[in-house]
């Protein structure tokens, strides 16, 4: 029988950061609301969560890097909404943001949760920001708590 490492609760003094894109704010505000509600439901104090607004999804990685460098956080949530337009602009934004965030997470051994919606239509984004597909911001908060607890339970040497 294998030894299964189960996540502990997130450390009591754990801090979380949420970086939110202002572009498509009607969507991203709902993602933020879902994340904050989930943290509150799980007992994370308001003052243990820092929120930084950036102009758009493209700016999320540089702020994530700066916050990760502080070593203050048990997890960083990144929330945005990139909706396909008439060009392939969304493809390049999505690829750059995804690659940047993955690199930061690995570099810092830090959960960097990807809550940047990459949708074909505004309707898809609405459904993922509290509609019939759920709230991806809330899901990111749950994943951040899970990962903070798992990393706390993992051996260090």
What is the rounded average pLDDT of the residues 72-88? 92
DSSP β-bridge partners for residue 78: 19, 114
6 assigned to some structural domain: no
CATH number, position 111: 3.40.50.960
pTM of the shown model: 0.93
Please say if the pLDDT value at position 96 is more than 90. yes
* Residue 92 counted as an annotated binding residue: no
109 assigned to some structural domain: yes
Distance between CA atoms of residues 111 and 73, nearest Å: 9
Please say if the pLDDT value at position 10 is more than 90. no
> How much is the pLDDT for 86?
81
**Domain total of the chain:** 1
Catalytic residues: 89
* Residue 83 counted as an annotated binding residue: yes
* Residue 59 counted as an annotated binding residue: yes
Query: What's 10's DSSP letter?
Result: P
């Amino acid at each position: 029988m294998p030894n299964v490492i189960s996540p502990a609760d997130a450390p009591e003094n754990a801090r979380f950061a949420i970086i939110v894109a202002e572009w498509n704010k009607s969507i991203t505000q709902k993602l933020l609301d879902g994340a904050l509600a989930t943290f509150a439901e799980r007992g994370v104090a308001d003052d243990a969560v820092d929120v930084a607004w950036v102009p758009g999804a493209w700016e999320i990685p540089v702020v994530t890097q700066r916050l990760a460098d502080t070593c203050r956080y048990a997890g960083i949530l990144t929330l945005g909404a990139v909706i396909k337009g008439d060009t392939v602009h969304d493809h390049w934004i999505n690829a750059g943001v995804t690659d940047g965030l993955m690199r930061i997470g690995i570099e810092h051994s830090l959960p960097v949760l990807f809550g940047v919606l990459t949708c074909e239509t505004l309707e898809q984004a609405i459904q993922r920001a509290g509609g019939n597909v759920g709230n991806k911001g809330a899901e990111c908060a749950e994943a951040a708590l899970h990962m903070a607890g798992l990393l706390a339970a993992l051996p260090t040497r």
